[in-house]
Chain A
């Protein structure tokens, strides 16, 4: 038996013994943190078991609490988890964004301090990039950090900070070099949210939900040792982290049959049949809708296969050169998917709440509204197209 086969068997046995039955059903994913909330006691057990093994972050080095798995081993782990329907044990910006950036840019002390709590789900991180005056033009940001002894004193405002009201800490872009050219005066700073100098105010989205906030810094403090990647060198860290963020968001394009090799049904056809009916040949009776669904399914597969191919082409942990393309295409595709659901559902797709609509219908409507942010968060579609044309295609600026 090869090492990988042995690994597969051991993994299967371990999952069988340790994954609680309740966690083999679909449901919400835990986000951990200091004041962690669990929707079921088994969620906590599952997180602890996986955290201990480092399998919340399977490919991170074991010296920082990660699983230390190779790309191939991780693939097996994901397949085995998929086979029993195991839920992801932990979701977090720490795993998807901050961790990979720390692994690349942080010093040894910082890695030792910050990575293991991410693996175990003990710290909930949020992202402090955008400001009221700095969205796409992120590098124009103006939140200031001034050194004062062993601390930086931070003043300014962030906006669209997802989960700022729930998070323990924030990874933040701050201006430390006001005289330097805009890209060369930015630092990457880790700040504790639990202090008098930090306040948050929730913002309500068109979907009715309120997952993000305005974040205000009034003489907030952060230890100088928590500046990552060097003074005024934060833009390099920031850009790399954005690539990881884009890869994370682009995975949305995979929902609904995007995984070209396995799932090949998006659910769109079922929704179409259910709401508009079928003809004598069992085909969706609205021909125009049927055509759009097929187009969407074909593009889902093509996109899923592309993500797979790009994955094969890139090393573990390295951002792929195709990240901007994936973010652009994946999010636009996901938006279209919801538009098609609404189109199929007719008036049942445009209810807000209360009687007359099923829970599922109302959820789709709210999710449709949420998808509108997909092509904005993490860098807008237009910004991704700029990145592709400049960095991938080498088209000149001036």
Chain B
């Protein structure tokens, strides 16, 4: 009784206060109103941008339903005028895959974070998936999706989108999972004490907390994804060749017709696309992600984006946001608050029994899978072939190791030099990120042309192509590390007269090591993957091979030899996983300890 009385009076009081506020500032209220009715220049720009995008998307989706034969017959024209359209198709594939990856990563990470049983199995699975060379799998997925939608472009589109998806989803999932596992306990308690429903908890706590990591990984995935979208548009599996309209198939056609000029056009178009992606998406998102960063973490370089500023100033965007909020509010009120409670502990034996069944089933399936693989390989190929594949893997490994070492020797000093000069870093960092996004496979034909022209050894000169696109990860991670290197440690090093090698060994390297290891690990992983396209290249009807596992997989794919593709992919995944486990991770842990970054 007393309670409800006081509540009422509190409400009345607040109503009076709100009215008072309006009366006190009529001018302010009016000014806001007037400003709201007149569209600003930003509004018009935002309007054009948004609706231009919608229109283009509508046109392209219309074509998805076309029969496959029509596309194949039409072929790919090398006229530069067709390039904007091809670029759009390529970009659309990219975004469809990103959408899929987002949904997947949230779902998978949720499952892993909230079910111990799922976590035990799914996290190691994810870890292996991350190391599987995606390009090696193209042959399987293409066959699968074409079978799903026989005779339709949609099947081929889905195969391509799936390939990009597999290059994007894993690290995003890890990032969300990590965030969900490290939610601040006091905020979790607050959401429970405030009786949030699961949806409210997701909206107000889990998603925002996961946001900075997710955005960063999305952007890294996208950057890596351009490489795969280009590679997956023109696929030959056995005697079936699929060409989807896009920059990748444009380049493939240009290679076939030995048209160096067309390749130049394609590179130009890709530069424009990446530039737009960088300016319209990457920068705004990273800058937007800033607001979710906990305030106790230092920022490296304050991210800036003119597009974000424009969107934030635009009235129309504000109006759209308000509309979305209103719709969200409808949902919020429709959803009954659900009680989140500490679950009553189950009797110990039921838990043990479920554990036993679940892990038992997993182990049986794993053993069966292993047995199946071994039997398949020994029946179709024999163990000599396995030894052969391992030898080739060693050749590719040698390339990867040498290339990462060389790239490190070049980029670490440069990265440190840039990172220690904040002005320069602010300019150079976006450039390095831009270069990492550019699909290096577009440049392969140029290299091949030169190798053929000057009769160089493919075994040596094809190798740099593997790291061409991935070396930038070393560069921009080192720049990032050097920009946050503490000023007073720099001064202390100067004060102690540390110079030359001693300076590197005592002062600089331990400080940037975690960043360097991250970069080098990404570069190495990417290089393994790239070997599949870099060790086997063509120019017209000239084929160049370098001896290695990448070439082995690529040739087997071209011949439709599924058993060899399987073997190659498995061996490569094994090598990458071992590298991560035995080299990179221990190194990273050590580096973290040394530099005190935890």
A joins B in a complex: no
Q: Give me the interface of A with B, judged by CB distance under 8 Å.
A: none
Give B residues with C-beta under 8 Å from A.
Answer: none
